[in-house]
Structure 1
Amino acid sequence: MKKHLQLRYTVAMGACLGAPAFAAGLGVGIEIPRLDVAEYHRPYVAVWVERADATVASTLAVWYDVKMKDAEGSKWLKDMRQWWRRTGRDLSVPIDGVTSPTRPAGKHLLQFTEGTNPLARLPAGNYKLVVEAAREVGGREVVTVPFAWPAAKGEPLRAKGTTELGEITLELKP
């Protein structure tokens, strides 16, 4: 009898631990194109969610040079002008779970779950995902992807940059 209860307990726990947790969230794909230039520097990138009135609902990610001596890398965050003017200058970096080092050319995926930082609970409404990139001895580019929250169904949304950013994808998870 005791072995039977242990087996049932083990099976029940395995079912609970193996079951996927379904939570609303966002999957953000960011492509940084490989550029054929004489002097290449990795771009600084800011990713945020903007309300319909252009105020910032949440900064999701900021990639910058965190290894510069005396935190000098944060001095260049203002080159991401739109993010800087809307919210960046009011933030104190580094921010746990938001800021991280710049990324190389390629495709990068970020996942955010509703109710956890940095994706706080978003009220229902219309928003824009905004991705801004700025590169030393390079250009600056902003790409936006409009979306409605909460998501009625899982759907991929896409936009494409032309210089500093490649394809930006937003996958809504209801």
Structure 2
Amino acid sequence: MRAMKTPTLFAAVTGVAAVPAAADAAELTVSVEIPRLSVAEYHRPYVALWIERPDETAAVKTLAVWYDTKLAKGEGATWLKDMRQWWRKAGRSMTLPADGVSGPTKAPGKHQAVFTAAQLSGLAPGQYNLAIEAAREVGGREVVRVPFSWPPKAGARPASAKGASELGAISVSTKP
């Protein structure tokens, strides 16, 4: 009897209800490779990561936007519209810089971003695409999409894709 009262007492004293830890532990991990290009004039790409419906009609949530955040007067945001698909679906309606979303451009190499269940709150159960778009000054533009399911299920395998020019290997994994 005493053990049954402990969670109730804990919630009454701390104001925190006892909830399963697994619900809060779910996460989405994205690995993005920015290839090293041999070009005369190289600029780091602007990159947007967002979740969209499988039919690609609408962005559900922007996860990250890597751009030149240190230019005076926020001038780095001027070129975000070069990431055309993200811009049309989500970017133009955002106020940037966005806390927890905006970040600096990344150098060539592999980069990982982990998004917790709290960061993905409101994401209804179902099938989605993780879309990654890169645009580079004096360079190209590319979008890569990787399907995934939310919420994560035990034993789910990572999904992957590979860009052809501005993006390298992309992987998306989920864990419950």
Shorter-chain TM band = 0.7 to 0.9
Deviation (angstroms), 1:121: 3.2
User: 1:168 offset after TM fit, Å?
Assistant: 0.5
Q: Secondary structure at the match of 2:159?
A: strand
- 1:85 matched to 2:88: yes
Matched, 1:126 2:127: yes
C-alpha distance in 2 between matches for 1:172 and 1:101: 25
1:15-60 per-position Cα deviation (integer Å, ceiling 9, x unaligned): xxxxxx6511100000000000000000000000002342111100
The residue aligned with 2:150 is 149
1:155 alignment partner, SS class:
coil
Compute the displacement of 1:147 (Å).
Answer: 1.5
Aligned-pair RMSD on alpha carbons? 1.2
Q: How far off is 1:78 after superposition?
A: 0.1
Shift of 1:158: 0.4
For 1:79, the aligned partner's letter is D
Q: Which residue of 1 aligns with 2:54?
A: 52
CA distance in 2, matches of 1:123, 1:67: 35
2:134 maps to amino acid: A
Counterpart in 1 of 2:102?
Answer: 99
The whole-number CA distance in structure 2 between the counterparts of 1:62 and 1:39 is 23
Aligned-residue identity in percent: 59
* Pick aligned residue for 2:32 from 30, 33, 37: 30
What is the SS of the residue equivalent to 1:77?
helix
- 2:35 corresponds to which letter in structure 1? P
Structure-2-length-normalised TM-score: 0.83
Distance in structure 2 (CA, Å) of the matches to 1:74 and 1:95: 11
Single out whichever of 68-77 and 129-138 deviates more from structure 2. 68-77
The equivalent of 1:16 in structure 2 is none
Determine if the alignment matches structure 1 residue 75 to structure 2 residue 78: yes
1:151 Cα deviation from its structure 2 partner: 2.1
Distance 2:35 2:105 in 1: 14
